[in-house]
Chains A and B, each alone.
Chain A
Amino acid sequence: MTRIACLAAVDEPPAPATLLQVALAHSPRVEEAGAGRVYLDAAGLEGLFGDEPCLATRLREAAAAAGLSIRVGIAGCRVAALAAARSGPEGTVVEPDGDAAYLAAVPLSLLELSDDLAARLARWGLRMLGELAALPTAGLFERLGGEGVRLQRLARGEDPRPLASWRPMPLFEESVACEWGMETLAPVVERMGELAGRVCASLGARGLAADGFEWICRLAGGRVHGGSLTPAVPMLDATAVAGLLRLALEARPPRGIVESLTLRGRPVRVSPAQETLTDRSRPSPRLLAATLNRLTALVGADGIGAPALLDTHRPDAIVLREYDPHPDRLPRRARGGSAPVLALRRLRPPAPAAVTLASGRPVAVRSGRLAGRIVAGVGPWRSSGDWWTQRPWLQDEWDVELADGTLCRLAHDGSDWHLAGIYD
Chain B
Amino acid sequence: MTIPIESAPPPGWDREGIDGLLGLLPPGRLSEIVGPRSSGGSSLLLALVARVTTSGGQVAFVDGMDALDPASTAAAGADLSALLWVRCGGRLRPALAAADLLARCPGFSLVALDLDELGPVPASAHVRLQRAVEGSDAILIVRSARHREGSPASLVLATRRLASRWMGLRPLTRLAGLRSEVSIARARPHAFSLGSGQGEGCWTLDWTL
Contact = CB atoms under 8 A, between A and B. Distances in A.
Interface of A: 279-284, 287-288, 291, 294-295, 298-299, 303-309, 316, 318, 320-321, 323-325, 327, 331-348, 370, 376-378, 399, 401, 405-408, 421-424
Interface of B: 12, 18, 37-43, 45-47, 50-51, 53-58, 65-77, 79-89, 91, 94, 97-98, 101-102, 104-109, 116, 137, 161, 164, 166, 171-175, 177-178, 205-209
Contacts of B47: 340-341
Contact of B177 (A282, A333, A342): A342
Contacts of A318: 70-71
Contacts of B173: 378
B80 A307 contact: yes
Given A299-B86, A325-B107, A422-B38, A405 B208 contact: no
A92 B81 CA distance: 47
Contact of A406 (B38, B43, B51): B38
Contacts of B55: 280, 331, 334
Given A309-B80, A336-B12, A376-B164, A345 B69 contact: yes
B192 to A, nearest CB: 20
A399 B72 contact: no
Q: Is the interface of B mostly helix, strand, loop or mixed?
A: mixed
B108 A283 contact: yes
- Pick the 4 closest A-B CB pairs, nearest first: A283-B107, A342-B207, A424-B42, A307-B70
Contact of B72 (A304, A334, A343): A343
Given A335-B77, A343-B46, A284 B107 contact: yes
Contacts of A407: 38, 164, 175, 178
A295 B85 CA distance: 11
B87 A405 contact: no
Nearest to A332: B79
24 contacts: A280-B55, A280-B56, A288-B107, A291-B101, A295-B102, A298-B97, A299-B86, A299-B94, A306-B80, A306-B81, A321-B81, A334-B12, A335-B77, A341-B47, A342-B40, A342-B43, A346-B68, A376-B164, A378-B174, A405-B164, A406-B37, A407-B38, A407-B175, A424-B37
A347 B51 CA distance: 25
A348 B44 CA distance: 21
Given A282-B107, A306-B85, A332-B54, A378 B175 contact: yes
Given A295-B86, A341-B207, A378-B171, 18 more contacts: A282-B58, A282-B107, A283-B108, A287-B105, A298-B98, A299-B89, A304-B87, A306-B80, A306-B81, A308-B80, A309-B71, A323-B84, A325-B58, A325-B84, A343-B45, A343-B76, A346-B69, A424-B37
